[in-house]
Structure 1
């Protein structure tokens, strides 16, 4: 009984600590959501923390009426879809080749790949390299230089090495080795696709350096421009001059902070909706290949 009582105490402490950590981690996101659903004029008075005091959807109406937002969102969706598909396909091909014992020089290729995880060319050489390739102000620069992920390749390689050799030998007889291996990799593909999708969705630094054309900027740069510049105030000024309901609404309720929090929520929602569809693969995909017989 004493041992069981000690276990209960330990479990209580662990779960309490995890609950507190979860609340601390989720509160900034929840507060941003509350501010986006609250009147900007009321938020400026302070005291809006866990629940909207003056509920309104005016902030979302203003953000969703901006054509620049939808153009940036389209570029982000296009980059995420194309970049994730290309990254998973080419990374899996590379990992499959390096997982086969008959591949010539595979150890040297692995060393070269792992070397790039610790030592990179740096920002200036990468800038010059992409400029010489003609990728500036080009859609391809949003994902092509980052198609291959060495970490994902190692995970794929470990998974492929853990497959039964007899299965592959049987598949080779029918001439469809990779066609058998790839469908069996569903959990790891789903998990790594999620990682890559989040990476491409959230990335803003490289696109801000290599793209000057506003029509090609992704939605994260739209959000960064709104936070770090006077874009929110300019939007309010433009809409304030509109006669009718929209102009009156902006004058009464909208503030730069409310627009910034609303843009943050709108940018975050799409990628968050992906998680429920891959959750069943997530744990299995993370653990797969972690142990070898």
Structure 2
């Protein structure tokens, strides 16, 4: 009986799997906790100092202008009103400038992505004749410019003063973006190009049907950067545009900021734009409302394209 029980215990022990012990959690040291708290506190402080000015401007844009002039508005409107935005949209100049900014951003980004992308694709081919010379000329433009006066004379001789295209074409080619495109295209498998050539594709067909679909991250990333640049640009319009109907939103915002209109006359700005009489609108409240309208499209676009940022920029900046 003892022998049988001993054999049965051996069989039972052999059939059982050894129990895995749960790994012990490593206790965090005191200095690690202090460093983590310091990092989190720093990030919260940076986020607050970055976001609060934007939030405060948004609050003031929804607050009565004369009440906001008394101060004390921090995180919520004290006297809520939509008069500032009504006045913005009642002024035909502001609506026209908003349309110019939207058209400039859309058309300029499309042209820049096509021209810069195709330029980067061409310079990524080692068999391109004069490739090094072209790259050298492009690199020189990163360090040296033609100067403001020669550039103005060139734009004037081309007949582009006071035209929509002066807001788009002079900055259509971005050499830095071209270098990122070029590096990205160099990392694409050469077998794709060889297969496309066997099927009879030319370079344009290859770029549109093969390269472009595979390059959506870098196109989305650089496209957004280009759109932000076009949307925020104001200096070129201040030089080349003298007609009010071609001024972008940013230039009109600067005119509002620099204007010396007394607060009691700001309520009559609507005038011919619809006989608008706003009793609670001041220069500052109107400026904040205009600024929110100018910033809103870019803020709304970021969440949808943010996922392409890291992938697009890193892949385009690495070389095998």
**What TM-score, normalized by structure 1, do the two folds share?**
0.92
CA contact (8 A) 2:91 2:270 kept: no
Aligned counterpart in structure 2 of residue 186 of structure 1, from 216, 219, 242 = 216
Q: Do 1:225 and 1:231's aligned partners in 2 also have CA atoms closer than 8 Å?
A: no
Matching residue of 2:6: none
Deviation string for 1:57-110 (max 9, x for gaps)? Answer: 111111111111111111111111110000000001110111001001111111
Task: Find the structure with the greater CA-based Rg.
Answer: 2
Q: 1:217 to 1:240 in 2, by over 3 A?
A: closer
Whether the 8 Å contact between 1:236 and 1:256 is mirrored in structure 2 is no
Return the offset for 1:232.
8.3
Q: Cα 1:241–1:220, aligned 2, differ >3 Å: closer, same or farther?
A: closer
Aligned to 1:154: 179
Q: 1:232 to 1:194 in 2, by over 3 A?
A: farther
- Describe the superposition over 1:229-257 as per-residue Cα deviations: whole angstroms up to 9, x where unpaired: 1468565234489999x52xx23x11111
User: Any gaps of 5 or more consecutive residues in structure 2?
Assistant: 1-25
Structure 2 residue corresponding to 1:236, chosen from 267, 270, 279:
267
The CA distance in 1 between the partners of 2:255 and 2:165, in whole Å, is 22
Match of 1:224 among 232, 254, 260: 254
Q: Is the 8 A contact 1:187 1:284 kept in 2?
A: yes
Which residue in 1 is equivalent to 2:206?
177
Aligned partner of 2:91 among 59, 66, 73: 66
The residue that corresponds to 2:62 in the other structure is: 37
Query: Take 2:117 and 2:237, find their aligned partners in 1: how far apart are those partners?
Result: 26
Distance 1:6 1:158, change over 3 A: farther
* RMSD, aligned CA: 2.1
Task: Tell me by how many angstroms 1:195 deviates.
Answer: 0.4
Q: Report the secondary structure of 1:17's partner residue.
A: helix
5+ residue gaps, structure 1, are none
TM-score normalised by structure 2 residue count: 0.85
Give matches, 1:128-167, under 5 Å: 128-167=153-192
Structure (1 or 2) with the greater helix fraction: 1
Range with greater deviation from structure 2 (197-206 or 177-186): 177-186
In the TM superposition, what are the counterparts of 1:1-293 in structure 2 within 5 Å?
A: 1=26, 5-174=30-199, 175=201, 176-178=205-207, 179-230=209-260, 235-239=266-270, 246-247=276-277, 250-251=278-279, 253-293=280-320
Deviation, structure 1 residue 285: 1.2
CA distance in structure 2 between the partners assigned to 1:168 and 1:243 by the alignment: 60
Query: Partners of 1:207 and 1:190 in 2: how far apart?
Result: 26
Q: String of CA shifts for 1:9-49, please: whole Å, max 9, x gaps.
A: 33332232122111111111111111101111111111112
Q: Distance in 1 between matches of 2:306 and 2:190?
A: 29
* d(CA) in 1 for partners of 2:216, 2:299: 21
Task: Indicate if the aligned counterparts of 1:232 and 1:260 stay in contact, CA closer than 8 A.
Answer: no
Deviations 1:138-167 (A, max 9, x none): 111001010000010001001000111112
